[in-house]
Amino acid sequence: MKSVRRKAREDALQILYQLDLNNDLSVELALNYFQSLYSKNQMALDPFTRRLVMGVGEKANDIDHKIKEISSNWRPDRMAAVDRNILRLGAFELLFCDDIPATVTLNEMVELAKEFGAENTPAFVNGVLDQLKTKFPVTGKTE
What pLDDT was estimated at residue 19? 95
What pLDDT was estimated at residue 41? 62
Spell out the domain ranges in the chain. 4-135
CATH 1.10.940.10 fits 4-135, yes or no: yes
d(CA 120, CA 138): 28
What pLDDT was estimated at residue 139? 58
User: Tens-digit pLDDT profile for the chain (143 aa)?
Assistant: 678 999 999 999 999 999 999 989 999 999 988 888 876 665 778 999 999 999 999 999 999 999 999 887 777 878 899 999 999 999 999 999 999 999 999 999 999 999 999 999 999 999 999 999 999 887 555 55
What pLDDT was estimated at residue 64? 93
Closest of 48, 44, 58 to residue 13, by C-alpha: 48
d(CA 34, CA 25): 12
What's the whole-model pTM score? 0.91
What pLDDT was estimated at residue 44? 78
